[in-house]
Structure 1
Amino acid sequence: MKTMKNWLLTGLMLLVVSTVFSQGKVTGTITDGQGALPGANVAIKGTTAGSSSDIDGKFSVDATANSGELVITYLGFETKTVKFSVSNGGTTNLGTIILTSDSNQLEEIVVVGRGLIDLAKERKTPIAVSTIKAAEIQTKVGAADVTQAFVNTPSVYVAGQAGGFGDSRISVRGFQQDNTAFLLNGQPINGMEDGKMYWSNWSGMSDIANFIQVQRGLGSSKLAISSVGGTVNFVTKATDKKEGGFISTSTANNDYLKTTAAYNSGIMKNGFGVSVLLSHWQGDGYNKGTFGQGQSYFISFGYKANDKHSFNFLLTGAPQWHDQNFTKKISDYLGFGRNYNNNYGYLNGQYISERTNFYHKPVANFNWDYKISDKTDLSTVVYASWGRGGGTGNYGSGKKSISEVNPYTGLSQSTYIDFDQIYSNNSALADADQTFAKSYLIRSSMNNHAWYGVVSNLKTKLNENISFNAGIDLRTYKGTHYRQVNNFLGLTSFTDVRKLRGANHLTQGSNVSQIVNKSMSTDPWGAFFNKIDNNQKIDYDYSEKISYGGLFGQLEYSKDNLSAFLQASVSNQSHQRFDVYDYLPEFKDSEKVNNLGFNVKTGGSFKINESNSLYVNAGYYSRQPYHDNIYLNFTNEVNPLTSNEKILGLEAGYNFKINNFSASLNAYRTSWEDRVVSSSRVVTALTETVGTTVLAQGDLVYKSNLGVQQLHTGLELDFVYKPFKELNFKGFASIGDWKYKGNSTTRETDENQNLLKESLVDVDGGRVGDAAQTTWGLGADYFLSKNVSFDLDWRTYDKLYANSGAIKENLMLPTYDLVDAGATYKMFVGKNKQNTVSFRLTMNNIFDEVYLSELSGTPIKASATLGSGTYESAGRTYKGIADANQGYFGFGRTWNFTLRYNF
């Protein structure tokens, strides 16, 4: 027995020794075809053996068998399997292994609310999608709004930059921002009243976004929302797995300066983690009189209690103020320069702007991810936002301006506001004359809100092939709107006079007046905490309450190369308006309006082989009108012309992918009925009569087209090609055909929401404006070494029509091209060269292209009458466009430089 035992022990020892000494090594270098990928995971399939790549992308892993397969994974790239064979005790070098980028994957973060953030990668049924990662956002945005990150995306047009910091806007497939759903970690952030986005409130997004996914068309949002243009998901950094942070400083044209610092603790042993970011920016603005300044903050606390429960609390905000520029006639720019602006002046030599936007909108949300079982997950977010601030403007009839001769027209026109003369006139007025008719002051139009909501989604796998999602979307919103005095400009007080409305919304009784003697600043921090007394408000004071409840569900089937989904939602919106300023007390509450809406989406995809796949989607929406369209002229009178908007969307696509080339082709058709189109313009003549009302120069006119029908069709192409590891090409093209159909009821109102004119117009065949219907572009990234890289982007915009609302004969702007370029240098520093110091220089519009980025208002043709001839015969055109049209010129050559230390 003892002898047998010794033989067994000897045999076992020999087996162990043989196994140890027969181990070989497998080595190699992992890259993306451009540079090394440090931290890639390398594992031998079917074993626990594994390793990771170092800073140079190199790896080494012990092989316990003579042959096998390596499984290589790196977030942001497709998983790759590589076969190997190795002799006993030997080493096999697999050389360079190139991973293929997967633009839809996430970077390595702890993503909270994963069941709510419905991303295209998680949806097996493909859609038209573009994903923009943090690195690209940081390099492309620079000193611009975060919307700059979208410029190389098919069917996306960015406009409005010339208005001032944060005043840009985007259109997707020809649909404006109020018709595109914007989400922050699964939380809806479009305005509840009008659906609009104000990017000045999100100036920190370029710092805190881990990636942005633009889903064009039907999108993949699980919420009970009906986005027409698409869905844009902003996914923040949340609480990172690894400890680290960065410090950066940026400078740019027009004295722009931004400083940012961020730190995250990583998920610690006790399951807690925290991530913090703070920044400050300031600049003079590209256009005259568009100074701005702001901060942004981001705080995220994460806690992973166990394998089933994880929590994250997030608080972010971007208090800011910026002076604004409005559209001008082309002749103004030709005479005084592309950066012309006349919304400001000087008082005793000190600069004062008449138009300043100021706002502070903190957003907080609490996410809970609960893994109920291997098959079922529950994700919930409870959120809130509180907005405080508004915009300043002129109030009263005593405005005075300084005029100069326009070198282009030879005519005298206003170039500055004469605040010295205004102050002198105001100071000479008796108390009884300090009224709207004789004085002038700067007012602030306040737009405050408190918004609370909860979104919850349950996801369960019914069997191997079918999964089911169901959830709720609940929101309550209260907005308050009033005007207050910002600067009395020499007045000791101001007497505000009005006549109250009664039954049928008609004014009745004698005038009511109150004396106002308090003013409030435009500091966004102060605006958030300070509130003026009710008896110190002027012009209007009303509020609204909006309640929203929605249910949504989704079934998805996937087996082998076939997948399909069915998604549906239903929601109810409740609206009520309260006007304590313009109505007698017994009539201050409006009629309560409830609207029921729903949507249904379905689609499927077929994977032909590893390189080819097809998909088709369809959806129908019955979408409720926004609050601002329900009540007429900002009174309690319910608008009889509003009804649910009806949208039918159809789309199909083809995706192709091989080792170094991938492309997608998408086609879409979206029909939209009973929609509302709005636009605005500035009165440029000394006086203008609209309807029976005489308006003065500088007055704003708002136009709404009700009952509009639109049909948008188009094709989109985008591709990525890597001919060799140092060079990467990206390209896109979109061809759209966006038209109005049928008739439209047109209403024009002044800045105080008084009705000026109403008419029925034929808009059939009219071109949809405010976004280029045809765009294409090409970009290249070249890596000279792992330290130095260069990038170049070229884009062309064609068939861009004026933003004139729904009209039959719109005006097409001249085609233009833009070229942007950048260079990056990185130094690897610190222990194991894990930290980096990067230098980034970006130049936009490097050839200083002069172009019209947008026109607004009623189009004026070159053949229109001017004096005894036409604009064309008088030589008063710019590239074939009559110079009386209003709009913006795009920015000329701009630059920004960033120094960043990552640790």
Structure 2
Amino acid sequence: MKIFKNALLFGFMFISTLTVFSQSKVTGTVIDGEFNQPLAGASVVVKGTTTGTATDFDGKFEITTSQKSGEIVISFLGYETKTVSYTITGNSVNVGNVVVSPEAGQLEEVVLVGKGIIDVAKERKTPIAVSTIKASEIQAKVGTADVTQAMVNTPSVYVAGQAGGYGDSRITVRGFQQDNTAFLLNGQPINGMEDGKMYWSNWSGMSDIANFIQVQRGLGSSKLAISSVGGTVNFVTKATDKKEGGFVSMGVANSDYFKSTAAYNTGMNAKGFGMSIMMSHWQGDGYNQGTRGEGQNYFISFGYKPNEKHNFNFLITGAPQSHDQNFTKRISDYLAFGRKYNNNFGYLNGKYISERTNFYHKPVANLNWDFNINSTTSLSTVLYASWGRGGGTGNYGSGKVSVKVPTHPITGQTNYSTYIDYDAIYANNLADADGIGTGSNYAIRASMNNHAWYGLVTNFKKELNENLNLNFGLDLRTYNGDHYRQISNFVGLNGWTESRPLRDNTHVVPVPNTTLPVVSNTVNQSYNINPWYAFFNTADDSQKIDYDYSETISYGGVFGQLEYSNDNFSAFFQGAISNQSHQRFDYYDYQDQYQDSEKVSNVGYNVKGGAAYNFAEKHAVYANAGYYSRQPYHDNIYLNFTNQVNPLTENEKVLGLEAGYTFKSKMFTASLNAYRTTWEDRVVTTSTVQATNGTIGTTPVLAGDVIFTENQGVKQIHSGLELDFVFKPTSNIDVKGFASMGNWEYADKAISTKRDENLNPLLVTETDLDGGKVGDAAQTTWGLGVKYEFIKNFSIDADWRNYDKLYANVAAKDNLELPSYDLVDAGISYKMLVGKDKQNSVNFRFNMNNVFDEVYLSELTSNIKTDAFISGTSGPTYQSAGRVYKGIADGNQGYFGFGRTWNFTIRYNF
């Protein structure tokens, strides 16, 4: 390309000399309208000629031409083509910043609302390990999957769990599970406040509303006091569109999947008002047996920009859904009954019934206010709320009956239970004398998890001088959760009755005796598990079973950041401190005067700092370091789901180190990152009541003594290298690649200590975990993707990924390694311009995932070796009995990954 450009320039100079005409220059900068940053590799051509160039990494271009006036045409794969007029007076003209927008039909926002809160890496001059996935790629690649599918081509990110059902996937970042990765929605934290986990079924509409997703691996750039041990994932939604328009789309996929979506934008009127609205419906049978699902998604955004100083945006979005679930099973069961086997469902009078259904509706609302106080000062604030209603179903009572096969084809077990026999269960329940079920009957219960969450995040930014910026702000949250069980299907019964002793603060378990009052209750109402119904209808206290408790969690934090930057050097320092308080209230198992637990408060903090140096035009290096003192989660503060406070919890300690190198040129950019993260001082405690007089170790204990079992010392060290690159040899070819090579290990020993009520140690046992591999994510991954637009608006793309060094999700010194595997995904896109002046378009997209139908194990939850005995301590081993699958004992539990799947979408943009 460079030789061609030089030759072309030489030719123009020669012609100019012969004709005595002077040459002129057209310069400018191309800006990505979605991210407000330079767009490298864009094609710039003088219209009607072959004179052209490509923008450099800073988005700049320069063209020499003999035409004193004319037009230049700017194009880039995935963006709308833009034509700009120019007139040269003298020898040159600068057309300034030329903003190009993504392909038509994407809801472009007026501004990035909450821009001081949504801390994405484009605001960070100090580089970090980051990957950004734009809306066009999300819409193209996700298809029928969870939004996590958009992140599969990101270094050190592993996606698993899809086999559980719609919305049951999960991701790990640098080997850390979701409770150790921070997830943000428009700057607000969305990890569960009780346990830090993410449930993607609650966010099934994210692929429809995401403007972009940014995965910041490691320390990240977020200023909040959040637990970004593995990384931070920012979901930034669309906002109110500035132009009138919209789209309608329909999609179909394997397993009878169907989805329809419609969106409309009023555009911003002269008074600064506008509204965008989007709604969708989806349904499907699920890839595996018994994993049907159905849901909707809604998104409503109101924008108001009264003047240049103020910008307001209110949005509310939700994704009510229900989906049936599949759980891990033995490999031998899959081999016997098929890789899609699921035993969580059955039929009653020929009608399908699932025992395991997740149903939830969690609308999220936020109000953003951006205030440009003056040219150097701004204030951004988001006030947010979410209300979750729903839960998951399961069996209740011991009266479950299953359809049996005479002999298991693999294990030889006789009279083996498979699917649920609801006809037999119904008959047994009808035979009950009074129709009121007890522990020997069967019903389907729903475990409810309802909550209300309110928060405020505000950030004040001040440019102290040309090179120095200061940020500081507040992060306030309050959360109230209610947990109880109710009946969703009596399966022929008229009601259910149960008795229980009420606890006081002395009895930590409900042991029936003369000092504890015994109460009973009978319920006779069943509740619909439709997520819309569940949102507006909650069970009366008299209709709750098994448990009924709630908790209140309050969080208050302050954060600050100071950043210095000049042309070649930048540095930043961040700090945050927070206080988190917890209290539990148990209405079911405690007497009235003992229902409120002790209130527990913990202080945590983090500090981060880093610097970067551009030592040449195309080269930069950086280093970051951070330390976290993280409060324990709520579920570890109170023991055994009681009001008993765990006296042994302490803050977890996390130390992160990171360094990297970045190369940027006109056609090729690459980043190499190295990291090391240690995570320690984790404490998990349980308690039991001694049943009889005896000894623990050498210490006598009495019946009724409370015994604490403290598990600690599980230290993890995660280190590795990451490489990602983008190569744009021409404007119609896009090549991306990544590699991550991790070494994630346990260190030292796991120590289990039994203690008495005075916390005196009774017995200490040690388990050597040193050097054991951390499981649940592939430690080595490679990927390569290519997109080629072989004719205008018609492109094909393909992605290849290899997963290796994947271990079972257990803590063991000698962990089980799963077979490596490869996946290839491919797609075709076509955009047809229609309507007046070709302003509208019809987009077609076809995806095929796992093109070669690779059969692979995506995860295991057990660690059985091939030389282990099949039963007991003697007899045949898995190896000697020939019960080995791809080197893995078939008694292990886990999931097979999906085979070949497909989806097709048609979308009309207007």
TM tier, smaller: 0.7 to 0.9
Name the SS of the counterpart of 2:728 in structure 1.
strand
The structural deviation recorded for 1:36 is 8.7
Say whether 1:709 aligns with 2:715: yes
Aligned residues: 820
Whole-Å Cα distance in 2 between the matches of residues 330 and 817 of structure 1?
A: 20
Say whether 1:479 aligns with 2:484: no
- What is residue 843 of structure 2 aligned with on the other side? 838
Range that drifts further, 426-435 or 132-141: 426-435
Name the SS of the counterpart of 1:372 in structure 2.
strand
- What is residue 218 of structure 1 aligned with on the other side? 219
Whole-Å Cα distance in 2 between the matches of residues 558 and 622 of structure 1?
A: 28
Say whether 1:282 aligns with 2:283: yes
The structural deviation recorded for 1:235 is 0.7
Whole-Å Cα distance in 2 between the matches of residues 411 and 496 of structure 1?
A: 35
The structural deviation recorded for 1:72 is 4.7
- What is residue 547 of structure 1 aligned with on the other side? 554
- What is residue 343 of structure 1 aligned with on the other side? 344
Whole-Å Cα distance in 2 between the matches of residues 52 and 746 of structure 1?
A: 69
- What is residue 571 of structure 2 aligned with on the other side? 564
Say whether 1:674 aligns with 2:662: no
Say whether 1:864 aligns with 2:889: no
Deviations 1:54-94 (A, max 9, x none): 965443312233324444533589xxxxxxxxxxxxxxxxx
Whole-Å Cα distance in 2 between the matches of residues 117 and 794 of structure 1?
A: 32
Whole-Å Cα distance in 2 between the matches of residues 583 and 727 of structure 1?
A: 66
Give the TM-score, by structure 2 length.
0.86
Query: Which of 817, 820, 823 is residue 818 of structure 1 equivalent to?
Result: 823
Name the SS of the counterpart of 2:534 in structure 1.
helix
8 Å contact from structure 2 (residues 314, 365) kept in 1:
yes
- What is residue 65 of structure 1 aligned with on the other side? 90
Relative to structure 1, is the Cα distance of residues 807 and 758 closer, same or farther in structure 2, using a 3 angstrom cutoff? farther
Whole-Å Cα distance in 2 between the matches of residues 526 and 448 of structure 1?
A: 13
Name the SS of the counterpart of 2:616 in structure 1.
coil
8 Å contact from structure 1 (residues 109, 237) kept in 2:
no
Give the TM-score, by structure 1 length.
0.87
Whole-Å Cα distance in 1 between the matches of residues 166 and 824 of structure 2?
A: 22
Range that drifts further, 209-218 or 411-420: 411-420
- What is residue 500 of structure 2 aligned with on the other side? 498
8 Å contact from structure 1 (residues 802, 854) kept in 2:
yes
The structural deviation recorded for 1:609 is 1.8
Range that drifts further, 867-876 or 293-302: 867-876
RMSD over equivalenced CA pairs, Å = 2.9
8 Å contact from structure 1 (residues 642, 707) kept in 2:
no
Relative to structure 1, is the Cα distance of residues 811 and 240 closer, same or farther in structure 2, using a 3 angstrom cutoff? same
The structural deviation recorded for 1:559 is 1.6
Whole-Å Cα distance in 1 between the matches of residues 802 and 299 of structure 2?
A: 36
Name the SS of the counterpart of 1:531 in structure 2.
coil
Whole-Å Cα distance in 2 between the matches of residues 581 and 129 of structure 1?
A: 47
- What is residue 439 of structure 1 aligned with on the other side? 441
Range that drifts further, 563-572 or 215-224: 215-224
The structural deviation recorded for 1:642 is 2.0
8 Å contact from structure 1 (residues 34, 726) kept in 2:
no
Range that drifts further, 23-32 or 281-290: 23-32
Range that drifts further, 426-435 or 308-317: 426-435
Amino acid at match of 1:837: V
Range that drifts further, 220-229 or 612-621: 220-229
The answer for unaligned runs of 5 or more in structure 1 is 1-21, 78-100, 680-702, 749-756
Range that drifts further, 61-70 or 419-428: 61-70
Whole-Å Cα distance in 1 between the matches of residues 494 and 117 of structure 2?
A: 54
- What is residue 700 of structure 2 aligned with on the other side? none
Query: Which of 829, 832, 835 is residue 827 of structure 1 equivalent to?
Result: 832
Name the SS of the counterpart of 2:607 in structure 1.
strand
8 Å contact from structure 2 (residues 649, 684) kept in 1:
no
Amino acid at match of 1:428: A
Relative to structure 1, is the Cα distance of residues 827 and 382 closer, same or farther in structure 2, using a 3 angstrom cutoff? same
8 Å contact from structure 2 (residues 25, 93) kept in 1:
no
Range that drifts further, 501-510 or 728-737: 501-510
Deviations 1:488-525 (A, max 9, x none): 11111111221221123243524321111111011000
Relative to structure 1, is the Cα distance of residues 204 and 548 closer, same or farther in structure 2, using a 3 angstrom cutoff? same
- What is residue 667 of structure 2 aligned with on the other side? 660
Relative to structure 1, is the Cα distance of residues 108 and 483 closer, same or farther in structure 2, using a 3 angstrom cutoff? closer
Whole-Å Cα distance in 2 between the matches of residues 506 and 369 of structure 1?
A: 52
Say whether 1:608 aligns with 2:611: no
- What is residue 182 of structure 1 aligned with on the other side? 183
Amino acid at match of 1:777: G
Name the SS of the counterpart of 1:421 in structure 2.
helix
Whole-Å Cα distance in 2 between the matches of residues 676 and 449 of structure 1?
A: 26
Relative to structure 1, is the Cα distance of residues 444 and 136 closer, same or farther in structure 2, using a 3 angstrom cutoff? same
Whole-Å Cα distance in 1 between the matches of residues 265 and 409 of structure 2?
A: 56
8 Å contact from structure 1 (residues 396, 440) kept in 2:
yes
Name the SS of the counterpart of 1:865 in structure 2.
coil
Whole-Å Cα distance in 2 between the matches of residues 775 and 193 of structure 1?
A: 32
Whole-Å Cα distance in 2 between the matches of residues 501 and 810 of structure 1?
A: 42
Whole-Å Cα distance in 1 between the matches of residues 248 and 765 of structure 2?
A: 57
The structural deviation recorded for 1:809 is 2.1
- What is residue 698 of structure 1 aligned with on the other side? none
8 Å contact from structure 1 (residues 359, 390) kept in 2:
yes
- What is residue 146 of structure 1 aligned with on the other side? 147
Whole-Å Cα distance in 1 between the matches of residues 651 and 366 of structure 2?
A: 31
8 Å contact from structure 1 (residues 468, 554) kept in 2:
yes
Whole-Å Cα distance in 2 between the matches of residues 432 and 278 of structure 1?
A: 44
Whole-Å Cα distance in 1 between the matches of residues 765 and 348 of structure 2?
A: 43
8 Å contact from structure 1 (residues 641, 706) kept in 2:
no
Q: Map 1:59-98; keep pairs closer than 5 Å.
A: 59-74=84-99
Relative to structure 1, is the Cα distance of residues 264 and 747 closer, same or farther in structure 2, using a 3 angstrom cutoff? farther
The structural deviation recorded for 1:29 is 14
8 Å contact from structure 2 (residues 648, 685) kept in 1:
no
Whole-Å Cα distance in 2 between the matches of residues 741 and 247 of structure 1?
A: 53
Q: Map 1:161-310; keep pairs closer than 5 Å.
A: 161-310=162-311
Name the SS of the counterpart of 1:735 in structure 2.
strand
The structural deviation recorded for 1:866 is 2.4
Query: Which of 876, 894, 897 is residue 901 of structure 2 equivalent to?
Result: 894
Whole-Å Cα distance in 2 between the matches of residues 207 and 37 of structure 1?
A: 34
Whole-Å Cα distance in 1 between the matches of residues 60 and 467 of structure 2?
A: 29
Say whether 1:457 aligns with 2:463: no
Whole-Å Cα distance in 2 between the matches of residues 422 and 192 of structure 1?
A: 38
Name the SS of the counterpart of 2:122 in structure 1.
coil
Whole-Å Cα distance in 1 between the matches of residues 773 and 683 of structure 2?
A: 15
Whole-Å Cα distance in 2 between the matches of residues 203 and 745 of structure 1?
A: 40
Whole-Å Cα distance in 2 between the matches of residues 884 and 807 of structure 1?
A: 17
Amino acid at match of 2:112: V
Query: Which of 724, 730, 735 is residue 724 of structure 1 equivalent to?
Result: 730
Relative to structure 1, is the Cα distance of residues 822 and 37 closer, same or farther in structure 2, using a 3 angstrom cutoff? farther
8 Å contact from structure 1 (residues 653, 665) kept in 2:
yes
8 Å contact from structure 1 (residues 36, 57) kept in 2:
no
Name the SS of the counterpart of 2:137 in structure 1.
helix
Relative to structure 1, is the Cα distance of residues 758 and 510 closer, same or farther in structure 2, using a 3 angstrom cutoff? farther
- What is residue 82 of structure 1 aligned with on the other side? none
- What is residue 17 of structure 1 aligned with on the other side? none
- What is residue 860 of structure 2 aligned with on the other side? 855
Whole-Å Cα distance in 2 between the matches of residues 841 and 384 of structure 1?
A: 37
The answer for unaligned runs of 5 or more in structure 2 is 1-21, 31-38, 48-54, 64-68, 687-708, 755-762
8 Å contact from structure 1 (residues 38, 53) kept in 2:
no
Q: What percent of counterpart residues are identical?
A: 68
Whole-Å Cα distance in 2 between the matches of residues 479 and 223 of structure 1?
A: 23
Say whether 1:468 aligns with 2:470: yes
